[in-house]
Structure 1
């Protein structure tokens, strides 16, 4: 057995695909309509469709609140964290700017269109 990837629920698959592809610069490796796979084993799925598939109902997907609930962090790395931050800082809703964490890694965090927290950090040695 091996872990493959988390699959965040999204409200608007087209808008979220555009965000991860056009804003963050991830390459789409497969587009299956209600779910889209990106390089690095990152996948998003239309929330209502996935709820129906998993639980056989739409319960919990019709509320107006965001899917992001401050209980999941989507983590990415970039070899040039300074250039990455400069490219994204005005294009995403920042949680905080580039700063050094207690363990010595520099990261910045922001929200995706569904309110999921996203972190981009420099690789750790």
Structure 2
């Protein structure tokens, strides 16, 4: 058995494709018209009701129980990109998780919840530049020093 992809139901395949290409820089690997697979493994499907054999009214928007998670090296630059796009609906502003990672959550054009956080390597480097030892970072993030070193390489 092999994991293939996560497939999102979208209302307009062209707008959704542009959203994921423009906001995240994703590249299309396969394009079947109303189904697109990006090279990262994310797939978009227009007419999801037809695909799964359900009526349109049984396809729900904004379930808020699943999110797509991305990490971004240039988190500040990404925040600027979001601010420059007034059509994006934010769930909240930037939040710092207990382990120190800054994230922002928002919805795509079809109401799918997305989280973008700074790369974990950046979190570790920020803590170290603030004067924390690897052991202190390990305790703050609740991971082993060995795991920290793997993330730094």
TM-score by length of 2: 0.68
Q: Which structure: greater helix fraction?
A: 2
Contact 2:49 2:59 in 1 (8 A): no
Shift of 1:90: 3.4
* 1:20 maps to 2:20: yes
Larger radius of gyration: 2
Higher RCO structure, 1 or 2 (CA under 8 Å, sep 6+)? 1
* Alignment gaps of 5+ in structure 2: 121-150
Match of 1:116 among 93, 112, 116: 112
Corresponding position of 1:96: 92
Q: Which structure: greater strand fraction?
A: 1
Take 2:117 and 2:39, find their aligned partners in 1: how far apart are those partners? 17
Take 2:58 and 2:6, find their aligned partners in 1: how far apart are those partners? 23
- Tell me the number of residue pairs that the alignment of Structure 1 and Structure 2 aligns: 119
Contact 1:10 1:67 in 2 (8 A): no
